[in-house]
Structures are given as structure tokens and as C-alpha cells.
Amino acid sequence: MVSVGTQLSYSTLKNHVRSKGVQVTLCSSVDTENPQQDTRLKLSSTPGKTSAPSPGVRPAKRPRLELQEEEEDEETFSHPHDSTNDLGDSEMSGMESACDYTDPKYIVFESSLRDLFQTCPVCRWECVVQQRSLGTFVSFSQRCPNCQYTRKWQSQPIKENTPVGNLQMSAAVYFTGGSFIQMEKICKAMNLRMFQYDTFRRHARMFLEPAINHKWKTDQQTLIEHLKEEKDKIAVGGDMRADSPGHSAKFGSYTLMHLKSNNIIDVQLVQSNEVGGSSHMEKEGLRRGLDFLEAHHLNVDYIVTDRHAQVHKYLKERNVDQYYDVWHLEKDLSKQLENLAKNKECLVVRKWLPSIKNHMYWTATASKSGAEKVAKWKSLVNHLQNVHTHDDPLFPKCAHPDRVSRDPNKWFQPGSTALSKVEKLLLDKRILRDVEKLNHDHQISSLEAFHSITEGFTPKNDVLSSVGRLCRLYLAAMHFNENAKRDQSTTLEGKAVCRLMFPHCKNGQCIATPVQTEPTFQYVSDLMKLLFEKIFEDPTRYTEDLNKVSLPEDSRGAAGTQQSRQQVQEAPGTSGQQHRTGWRA
């Protein structure tokens, strides 16, 4: 623990040098005729009754004043039984001080702060102390009734009538994708003072959301300029994430990713009532995304999507080449095969499920044309019957080496019910049409990874305003782009590190996956710098830029946000506290 000792005397009182983070106002008049005994009182806004020392007794030697060199940045609210007052804007206007948001912060107990101000460091009398607080901010005013020594101290800098620690706490919660309600519960659990939700929303509306929007637009423009320099058409992947499954979704976010670099190019937020229902959100999000690329003169070579029928029709009308993601087709087909394997007559199907899945991936990656993909896929029906030569000249023979099977019972028997039903599924007209459009170069599995990250920033069961949801999507995109190219972890000897996993999609089969290096959060530091060095000084321009973003009209105002929060808390059938845990912004 680092402390600073200051010896105060009559000759050096005016030239007293203060420790960092302690703001002192000294009075020049000192009364030495009525020293006070070394007794301590609790903090009070009025002087306490004290007994004077016996006449002629010399006062005790003044001890050294030791103050911890701390600038605490945590929340405090006044308690009813404490002699504290809440600060108003007029009182805070006289407390402006230099701001250094990068300073370390500590948790300080209130009793430790009281010890610093209860006794006069000059004459040892008990002082009149006034404590005021606002969120994480606390200030003390000390006055000695005996020698008129005065001192003022505040726990954090104040700029524009705003405690910097309060704003930085809101920024830390928001920029990291955290929940204010969860943070509030943590603070209450340890009796750590915290400002109210309305203050958090005011910070978000005035400073934080404009900062997020500005940084995302800047990063997005940098990525676009880089793609333009390549002077080639780009391959993109697109997929939508809805805030709830089924046809009851209210919001959907459609993401376009540059498949070569795995960077998010654009995120579009769509509300169901804008397009006449949740089933139309994916098409609308894609349309807005492609319009954005076209407006920035980015030519799309092709796009990889799922098998959404409206998307297929729209891209065909727009003359954009479309390919399907293998995983989406394999997932849909696997569900049908798993249901078929439950039939007693089709138990053999279960043994072949992993091979059928692998064959679909091999068909997509090992083929150069759509016709070749179809030929290889059709050969699977012969292969299941232990027949490895085929009639199609594009794929006349299986690519695996010839070998004699040790288990003749594993093959499908010609004319059996199992073979008939499997063949009907594998050679379905839509399946063949979709196999022909499987992409052989890129998949959109990285988009699924992005959706997993998005879940941490915008959980599906959280109640968010439109602008809050969009800004959190921007945060997720910034986090993903920053960590898109993480290297694999290595040991001290330089060997690659892997870990064993038993994923559900592999039916518990053990697989080895590479362990990546820890993610970085430089974007959070950049946002903090932007917030305190630019936006906090003059937020007008940044707020106007955010207001230009197209959003539903009923979701911009703070009043609408507060009303939505109240409606959620008072929803029938559930407690308000349960809903509060899901509220973020």
C-alpha cells in the first residue's frame, strides 16, 4: 500500500503539498488557544459536542497525516441514516477537474474514507464533515470548528457536470456487451454504490451509442476501401439471426460476410412489422445488404446462403449467382434420415448416417461443376448396395480403393424397404437441385460462429430498443472482425495445442479441435478513447450521425424505452424481477 505522509505546521500550512487525488482548501486563520482532545465522532453535517482540555495543558503533538493515494471510481448512493447529500448540477459545476480515464481504480470502503476526515490534522479537533454522493462519485467537505481548517476531496474527476467514473462504468458495461441489471445486482450484493438505470440510459443515448455507431461506420468504410483496392468481385455469405424461433420473431439481423477474409461487411436490422411478418425479414435484410454493397460500388461475384425459398427467388430476379451452404443442406437431410432410422425396417440407416454426411461435404468440395456434384451424389445409392461402378460418365467409378467388406450385413439389400425409402430421400428433385448449387470454395460456418458471438451481446430473451439492439450488433461485429484471424495456441516448445471435444452433432464422437489464442478487445479501448477525447467534448455531430440511421420510428426516444421496460416488468404471469434480469439497453 502506498501512502503519503504530510506534516502540517503553522509555518508550512499555506504551502501544504497535497497527495495525488486529494483536493484541499486551507484557511489561513488557525486558533491555537482551544485545542481539542483526540476523540472521534461519526460523520455528521453538524458540529458535535466535545469537551475542551484542561487549562494550561499543552496539546498533544500533531501526528503525521497519512492518506492513501487512491482515486476510487465506484458507485455510492446516500443512505437515509448517513449524513450524506445527493449532488445537484449546480453544486457539481464548481468541482470541474482534469480527466484521465486511464487511471487505475480501486474499491474503497466508506469507513476508510471517514477516517481521513473525522479529525483535524492541525489541532486534532473533531471536524464537521459533509459527505455527498452521486452514483459512483463521492465527495467530502471537512471544516474544523476550532482552527477553521478546511479541505475538500472528491473521488473522481468531473467534466461537464458529469462524474467521469459514472460515465466510464456505463461505457464499460455497454462496450463489453454486459447487462446493466446484472451489474446492478453484483453491486447490490457487495453494497457497492451504483447509479440508477435512467442514468445508464442517458449515458447510452448521449455518448455511448453515438460512439459505437461512429466507430463501426469508420471501420466499415476502411474495410470497404480495402476491398475496392483488390479490384475483384467479392464472394459474400449471408444469413439471418432472429430474436426468437418460429414465426413469432420481432427482430431479425441479416449479416453479410466477406468469405475470403471472414470479416463482417454489413449488418442490417429488420423489424417484422416493417415487412408484413417475420417470414419476410430475411429477404428484406438481404435486399438492404446488397443495396448497401451496390451503393459503395462493391461488385458481388456470388453469395452463399441457406435454402430460404424467398431468398432464392429474389436473387434469381436480381441476377446474382447463389450457392448453398453445405451445412444447412446436410442438417435438413440428416433430420429426415434420423427420423427414418427410427423405423424398425430401416435400422441400417443409422449406421450410414456419418458416411452420408461426409459424402455430401466431399461431393461439394471435390467437384468443379454442378453436374459433377449431382453425379457423385447419385452414386451414393449404388455405393450403399456395395455397387461401386456407375452409369454416369462424369463419375463412372467410386474414388475409394477396391476392398472386400468384412461385414456383408452392413449393405442395403436391393428391393428392401430401407433402400426404397433412403433412395427416395437422396434422389428427391429438390435435393438434387440443391446439391447442384452447393458451394465448393467457401462455407458460411463463420457466420454461425458470428451468431454465437452475437448471442453474448444480444441474447434472444433480452428486451432491447432498436437502437440499442443495432449498436450491440455493431459491437459483436467489431469483436468478430478483430478476432477473425486468431492463431492456434502453441506450447513453449512451439507445438500446436488441441483439445478433445465430444460435440452433440457428432453423436458424442471424440474429435480434436485446435485451441486458438485468447481474444483481444482493442475495440473497447478505441471506443473509450473516442468517447472521452472526442464525443464527450462535443457529442452533437456524433448524435446527429446516429439519428440518420434508419430505424423504426417508435424506438428512438428514451420515453419509449422506459415505457417498454415498465411494460416488461409488469407483464402478467411473471414477476418484474425476472424480466429485469433480461433488460440491457
What are the grid coordinates assigned to 578, written together? 425476472
Judge whether 568 and 579 are in contact, CB under 8 Å.
Answer: yes
Task: Tell me whether residue 342 is in a domain.
Answer: yes
Task: Tell me whether residue 541 is in a domain.
Answer: no
Domain final residue, candidates 403, 436, 469: 436
Asked whether the predicted pLDDT for residue 38 surpasses 60, the reply is no
- What mean pLDDT, rounded, does the chain reach? 80
Task: Tell me whether residue 379 is in a domain.
Answer: yes
Residue 177 φ/ψ region, left for φ over 0, alpha for ψ in the -120 to 50 degree band, beta for the rest:
left
pLDDT value of residue 80: 31
**Which sign does the torsion angle of CA 116, 117, 123, 124 carry?**
negative
Task: Tell me whether residue 196 is in a domain.
Answer: no
Residues 165-178 have a mean pLDDT of 96
**Dihedral (C-alpha) 155, 157, 162, 168: value to the nearest 10 degrees?**
-80
Task: Tell me whether residue 409 is in a domain.
Answer: yes
Judge whether 579 and 298 are in contact, CB under 8 Å.
Answer: no
Residue 239 pairs in a beta bridge with 255
Task: Tell me whether residue 286 is in a domain.
Answer: no
- For residue range 185-228, what is the model confidence (pLDDT) as tens digits? 999 999 999 999 999 999 999 999 999 999 999 999 999 999 99
Judge whether 212 and 542 are in contact, CB under 8 Å.
Answer: no
For the chain, the domain total comes to 2
Which residues form the domain of 340?
326-436
Asked whether the predicted pLDDT for residue 55 surpasses 50, the reply is no
**Dihedral (C-alpha) 49, 54, 55, 57: value to the nearest 10 degrees?**
-120
Domain final residue, candidates 110, 141, 159: 159
Question: In a 3-state reduction of DSSP, which class is residue 27?
Answer: coil
Judge whether 497 and 517 are in contact, CB under 8 Å.
Answer: no
Residue with grid cell 454426411, as numbered in its chain: 357
Asked whether the predicted pLDDT for residue 30 surpasses 70, the reply is no
Model confidence at 32, pLDDT cuts 50, 70, 90, reads very low
Instruction: Please tell me the pTM assigned to this model.
Output: 0.78
Task: Tell me whether residue 499 is in a domain.
Answer: no
Domain final residue, candidates 139, 159, 179: 159
Cα–Cα distances (Å) from 352 to 373, 381, 411, in that order, read 20, 12, 9
Task: Tell me whether residue 360 is in a domain.
Answer: yes
Model confidence at 182, pLDDT cuts 50, 70, 90, reads very high
Amino acid at 13: L
Model confidence at 339, pLDDT cuts 50, 70, 90, reads very high
Model confidence at 40, pLDDT cuts 50, 70, 90, reads very low
Asked whether the predicted pLDDT for residue 58 surpasses 60, the reply is no
Q: What residue ranges in 492-572 does DSSP mark as E strands?
A: 498-501, 511-514
pLDDT value of residue 546: 93
CA neighbours closer than 13 Å in the CB half-sphere of residue 471: 28
Lowest model confidence (mean pLDDT) among 24-28, 186-190, 246-250: 24-28
Residue with grid cell 409488469, as numbered in its chain: 570
